[in-house]
Amino acid sequence: MQTKCAICARAWPFASLPETRLVERGSFCYRSRMSVSQRKAMTVDEFLDWETRQELKYEFDGFAPAAMTGGTQEHTLIQVNLITALRVRTRGGPCRVAGSELKVSVAGSIRYPDAYVYCTNAPRGTLVVTEPVVVFEILSPSTALIDRIDKNREYRDTPSVQRYVMLEQDRQGVTVFTRTSDDWVGHLVEGDAVLSMPEIGVDLPLSEVYEGILFPDPEPDDA
């Protein structure tokens, strides 16, 4: 059973989505999670069981499901360039490259990173990777806050993750967080620089990742 929005006539699968409600506001509608006092947290196992029965793809933030949406042309091009470049450089080695079709379990959450590298032997038929080593997310306006804060914290709290890379869409640059002996340190890599990832033996020029991307013209400085 689905709930249909009176504004956009879109059918939302709320009957099967725990602890959510449909909000109709102005000229648009969206799924809203109830407040903490209104809902009960799902477990990871409950989410994984529930997700197998859904038509859409969902992430799990440790409390409730969150529907995933499509990306822009630029997002897709960057993702394809990135995965292709990583696979060429890791071919024949112990590590494997995955995209957003194979989920990871990190710090009590279930995520679908845009790309990641893992170096453990996962059995045939694996649906969830538990030990990613380097994780990549391509930032967009709708997800940047979650990528920068929530997912950053989750990847930091996952011991196998040694590096987390957040890629911009509107400029050639990435923010990188790296695990040190006792800290999680961020820095910027921009322009024609090379992204070094010694934990997987890969050096990747940003120009290769952003090949074919047309960037918006910079805004003029205020007079």
100-105: average pLDDT: 96
Give the pLDDT confidence score for residue 217 in this predicted structure: 76
Mean confidence (pLDDT) of the chain? 86
- Beta-carbon contacts of residue 173 (< 8 Å; ≥ 6 apart): 188, 189, 190, 191, 206
State how far the Cα of 214 lies from the Cα of 144, in Å rounded to an integer.
20
209-218: average pLDDT: 89
Q: What b/e string do you get for 163-191 counting C-beta neighbours within 10 Å, with b at 16 or more?
A: bbbbbbbeebebbbbbbeeeeeeeeebee
Q: How many residues does the chain have?
A: 223
Give the pLDDT confidence score for residue 47 in this predicted structure: 94
Tens of pLDDT, residues 44-64: 999 999 999 998 899 999 999
DSSP codes joined into one string, 136-172: EEE--TTTHHIIIIIHHHHHHTSTT--EEEEE-SSSS
21 vs 176, higher pLDDT: 176
29 vs 190, higher pLDDT: 190
List, in order of start, the domains of the chain with CATH numbers: 3-67 (no CATH), 73-209 (3.90.1570.10)
Give the DSSP H/E element, type plus range, for residue 47: helix 44-51
Indicate whether 214 pLDDT > 80: yes
State how far the Cα of 213 lies from the Cα of 92, in Å rounded to an integer.
29
Q: Which two tokens stand for residue 19?
A: 């602890």
DSSP state, residue 5: -
pTM, entire model: 0.81
At residue 142, φ and ψ (nearest 5 deg) are -80, -20
Give the pLDDT confidence score for residue 142 in this predicted structure: 87
State how far the Cα of 162 lies from the Cα of 178, in Å rounded to an integer.
6
Indicate whether 2 pLDDT > 80: no
Give the pLDDT confidence score for residue 97 in this predicted structure: 98
Confidence of residue 221 (pLDDT cuts 50, 70, 90): low
Give the pLDDT confidence score for residue 17 in this predicted structure: 53
Give the pLDDT confidence score for residue 212 in this predicted structure: 94
Looking at residue 188, its amino acid is L
Give the pLDDT confidence score for residue 30 in this predicted structure: 46
CA dihedral of residues 121, 123, 127, 128 (deg, nearest 10):
-40
DSSP state, residue 107: T
144-154: average pLDDT: 96
CB 101 within 8 A of CB 122: no
Give the pLDDT confidence score for residue 6 in this predicted structure: 47
205-217: average pLDDT: 93
